[in-house]
Amino acid sequence: MNEPQVRLSLEGDRAAFCPGEVLRGTWSIERLAPTELKAIELSVLWHTEGKGDEDLAVHFFERVTAEDSLALATSQPRVFSVPLPSSPMSYDGLVVKIRWCVRVRVFLHRGRELLVDVPFRLGEVPSPRASLPRLDQTAVEAVNGDGEQ
C-alpha cells in the first residue's frame, strides 16, 4: 500500500488574511485505513523564528480520536472555518519573525505521525528593511574614503 498523504488547502489558495477575517479551508487524508488511525489534530498557530527563545501559541485546536468513527472518514474533505485574531500579525523583522500556519497532524498506530503545515500571513506589517534609509553610492564612497574631493 502506498504511503498515506495529508492534503490541506486554504480556500481560494490564499496566502494572506486580515485580522478578524475568517480563515477557511479543507483537509483530507488519502490512502489510510481507519484502523491505522489513532487521532487527527487541526490547529491554527503562530510561532517565532530568529534570535532568542522561539515562541509558539495555538489560536485554534481541534482533535478527533479513533472513538469518533464518523469524523474519521478521512478520504472525504473536511471543512474548517476559524475567525482570526487581531494579533500578533505576521512580521519579517531583522532579529525575529512571526509566522502563522494551519497544521494537520495525524497520529498513527506504532508511534508514527504525519504532519502538514500551510503557512499564511496575518495582517500587513511593513518590513523593517523597507524603512531603512538607502545610502546612495556617493555617500558610501565618501564614508569609505573612495570619493574624490
pLDDT in tens, 81-137: 999 999 999 999 999 999 999 999 999 988 899 999 999 999 998 877 665 555 555
Q: In whole angstroms, what is the distance from residue 29 CA to residue 106 CA?
A: 9
Sorted by where each starts, the structural domains of the chain and their CATH numbers stand as 5-144 (2.60.40.640)
Query: Which residues are CB-neighbours of 10 under 8 A, at least 6 positions away?
Result: 23, 24, 25, 102, 118, 120
Q: What is the pTM of this model?
A: 0.80
pLDDT in tens, 27-54: 999 888 878 889 999 999 999 999 989 9
